[in-house]
Amino acid sequence: EFRLRYQGLIPPAARGYEHFDAGAKYHVISDQDYIKYFVATVLQFQIYSELCQAALHSGPLHTCDFYRSREAGRILSDVMQQGASLSPQQLIKLLTRGKTSRMSVDALLEFFRPLEAWLEVQNRDEQLIGWRSTMED
């Protein structure tokens, strides 16, 4: 139901609870943790934001380019050199130059804020293009 509602997709044949669609995902059948992918996405944006700050970027976060920034490169190198010798909290503290040792979604939200604002206007002012809302349609 969620896939239909949010993505407009339906299976080619009727599906019931006896079907184990989750088994098609490698991580489910091999009992692998999936949380690391979620954490990696959050950290990706936090690292990006910190390197942009180190490069003295001004303007929207999504326009940042820290290419050739020696300071951003130094910070990234310092963090990468530690490998697994430090805890994640210690690495975040090193990355943020002592500001925090906590993971944060703030950079992710900031990065997508312009898109969110644009989508709000589109959804408010434009006729929505969509798909059928039930499997029976």
The predicted pLDDT at position 126 comes to: 77
pTM of the model: 0.77
CA distance 57 to 13: 51
Provide the 10 A C-beta neighbour count for residue 7.
Answer: 9
92-100 LR contacts (CB < 8 Å, sep 24+): 92/43, 92/46, 95/46, 95/47, 95/50, 96/50, 97/50, 97/54
Counting residues of the chain whose pLDDT is more than 70, the rounded percentage is 93
Low-confidence ranges of the chain (pLDDT < 50): none
The position carrying tokens 């098609």 is 24
